[in-house]
């Protein structure tokens, strides 16, 4: 088969969205069929970026050794808190809504922008920081439903892949930002987690 002869002119075949990268093609100068194609991402679009529920690293807690960001939860008191979902390139793209009720934990994902695409969502729950780790999609606990906790406190991790746009209601994350509904900055929330874990004698 004789290969097509590209005319070298890239034309937009499909616009990029957060769901899918854009596609450009060249056509054959002989027969007019598509000769070559390439995926294109407009400036500020990001695809499949690792994203975590932001929190202190496990290694900041007594006995913890991994760099995994974790959330340390008190299960003796009912609570309803949003934690930041942050991409590895530092953008706030949503919230992990964590509801503690009667010793159970319910985790839901909320987006800052509807167009954000969050796939391969996974969360795990552990009795302490020494066992906490990121879980993969196949081993995730269920979202949007109460899961029984391991006792008076627990550690959770949450991760996913995100397609998003750098701008609009997505913003650069800083732990000085206020955590919605808490009246505290994320930094203060994290400090509270560290203090709780010390009081629990771990
Ligand atoms: Zn051709």
Residue 194, phi then psi, degrees to nearest 5: -60, -40
Q: How far is the CA of 62 from the centre of ligand 1 (A)?
A: 66
pLDDT at 201: 61
Say how many Å lie between the CA of residue 12 and the centre of ligand 1: 19
Question: Residues 190-197: what's their mean pLDDT?
Answer: 94
Span 98-129, pLDDT tens digits:
999 999 999 999 999 999 999 999 999 999 99
Domain boundaries, the chain: 11-42, 46-199
**pLDDT, averaged across the chain:** 95
Query: Whole-prediction pTM value?
Result: 0.89
Quote the ligand 1 centre to 5 CA distance (angstroms): 6
CA of 41 to the centre of ligand 1 (A): 27
CA of 2 to the centre of ligand 1 (A): 8
């Amino acid at each position: 088969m004789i290969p097509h002869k590209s005319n070298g002119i890239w034309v937009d075949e499909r616009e990029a969205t957060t769901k899918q990268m854009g596609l450009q093609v060249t056509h054959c100068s002989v027969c007019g069929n598509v000769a070559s194609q390439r995926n294109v991402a407009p400036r500020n679009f990001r695809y499949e970026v690792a994203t975590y529920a932001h929190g202190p690293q496990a290694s900041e807690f007594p006995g913890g050794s991994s760099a995994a960001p974790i959330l340390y939860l008190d299960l003796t008191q009912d609570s309803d808190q949003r934690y930041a979902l942050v991409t590895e390139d530092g953008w706030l793209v949503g919230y992990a809504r964590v509801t503690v009720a009667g010793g159970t934990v319910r985790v839901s994902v909320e987006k800052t922008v509807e167009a954000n695409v969050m796939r391969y969502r996974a969360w795990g729950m552990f009795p302490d920081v020494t066992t906490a780790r990121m879980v993969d999609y196949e081993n995730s606990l269920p979202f949007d439903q109460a899961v029984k906790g391991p006792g008076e406190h627990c550690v959770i991790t949450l991760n996913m892949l995100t397609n998003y746009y750098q701008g609009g209601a997505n913003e650069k994350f800083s732990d000085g930002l206020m955590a919605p509904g808490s009246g505290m900055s994320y930094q203060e929330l994290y400090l509270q987690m560290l203090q709780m874990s010390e009081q629990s004698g771990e």
